[in-house]
Amino acid sequence: MKIALAQLNYHIGNFEHNLQKIKEAIAKAKSQQADIVVFAELAISGYPPRDFLEFDDFINQCWKTILEIVPETDNIGVIVGVPTKNSEFEGKDLYNSAVFIADQKIKSVHHKALLPNYDIFDEYRYFEPSGQFLIDEYKGKKIAITICEDLWNLGNHPLYKITPMDELAKQNPDVILNIAASPFHYDQSKERKQILLENVKKYKLPLFYVNHVGAQTELLFDGGSLVINSKGEIVEELDYFEEDFRVYDLAYVESFEDKGKEQNLSKIELIHDGLVMGVRNYFKKLGFFKAILGLSGGIDSAVTAVIAARALGAENVRGILLPSEFSSDHSVIDARELAENLGCPYDIVPIRDSYESIRESLKTQFEGTLFDLTEENIQARIRGVMLMALSNKFGYILLNTSNKSEAAVGYGTLYGDMNGGLSVLGDVYKMEVFELARLINKEEEVIPVNTIVKPPSAELRPEQKDSDSLPDYDILDEILYQYIEKRKGPKDLIEMGFEEMLVKRILKLVNTNEYKRYQTPPVLRVSPKAFGMGRRMPIVARYLS
């Protein structure tokens, strides 16, 4: 049996687009004499469709698309993910399903049993879990069709009371096919390989796994579809962050005895490639082509500009330098040098006159007060107004340049430097931003060295440095990582050796600034715990605040 894996970039609710991709892949599979072609989880609708699933019209269009695939299945089997209606009165109205189509007929429909409801997942909100487990027979092979999480109930901490493959294994299948929508974070590919290898080890069956690729707003899908033989050898891993299509002969897979082709990207390379794909897809799927951002001469805006230029083309990324009276000459020089290195158009728009005008307008109200955070925020908000004005006038999307360290502790100005249509670095800690800069400069100096080595500063008052308000980023980032990603409490952090007063201060800053994060743009998710849909915290709360 020859099995084709179609790793494609779907677009949520764009049925015509998704259908066309699927048809093209079916034709390609036929041309290579494949017996079955396998598509990803909820390929028809795109993943995650969220509350679109509450509309009957949306579900009807999904099924109509399935029916348009049926005529394409002469001499080939097709397995594709789609939401389907639950005909039972009890339970949720929908299933998350895999439809098996062959010989121009719908042969079977398999429903997902394990519905994740943690972190960014919300499947039990919409879907009824399956309680029926049946294999398919096709061209002399017994096939166990599973959907993503159905293979994840192994290990020391199972989340579910049933393991679908235990039930399917009783029917003596020859092969496992798993269709998935596995969102990217920098450790996900390692975790994914481990769990899939555990399945192969347990059931002694070859496994074909197909994942989504592409970005859906803040969620990134890295691809990395896998073929593993029953001996537990990875035969091949498909490309990361790119569409891919491969055909495998099951007999060859089982006889495979060589070192397989795995992708070996470092954590920072994965983050870089994921962010580039995320920006590119966000713009393309929204029908936008040009980005704008403030270029401060600092490392965050520099890295954001490089990622945007690589995603969209340098000519489509406009840098705006917005110097104030507190901006150093070298910051302007560094920003200009970066734009010229990239080949990005740029403008210099000083904000001093606007700043003085606002101060003059508020002179009576501010009388008797000293320069403080208010005046700093006025400058940031003037920059935000100017960037949004250019965005509105010329149809740019404004890229937010704040990093995760700043977002965590509220080191940013609402309606100022926290503006934007998309947050590129909002899930990247400051020390990781430095790593990205070094990766970018690996072959040649793209980001000026001075931008990387100078002390970070918002330059909103004389001689200002980030370290005036925050601990050194290497210490801050480690505390934030342990609290946000690892869910360590204050006691744990103090026992790890962090100073008690610093721990209490940082955790209080994180929790009291939740209101700011509620008002920021979507954040491209690259870590196991990103701000946004995967981290749901109350604003009005007293815990650690």
* Strand 219-222 with 213-216, pairing: antiparallel
- From the list 142, 80, 144, 134, the residue with the least C-alpha distance to 106 is 80
From the candidates 21, 41, 337, 459, which is the catalytic residue?
41
Structure tokens at 410: 């509220």
The alpha carbon dihedral of 433, 436, 441, 445 has a sign of: negative
- From the list 309, 275, 271, 307, the residue with the least C-alpha distance to 290 is 309
User: 465 by DSSP, 3-state: which?
Assistant: coil
Structure tokens at 148: 């993503």
Give the amino acid at 408: A
Terminal-to-terminal C-alpha distance of the chain: 60
Task: Give yes or no: 41 in active site.
Answer: yes
From the candidates 21, 148, 149, 435, which is the catalytic residue?
148
Q: Are 42 and 247 in contact (CB under 8 A)?
A: no
* Strand 36-38 with 77-85, pairing: parallel
Give the amino acid at 260: G
Q: Which residues pair with 80 in a beta bridge?
A: 99
Structure tokens at 344: 């990005």
Which residues, other chains included, contact 428 with Cβ-Cβ below 8 Å and sequence gap of 6+? 271, 275, 403, 404, 436, 526, 527
From the candidates 2, 21, 112, 404, which is the catalytic residue?
112
- Catalytic machinery residues: 41, 112, 148
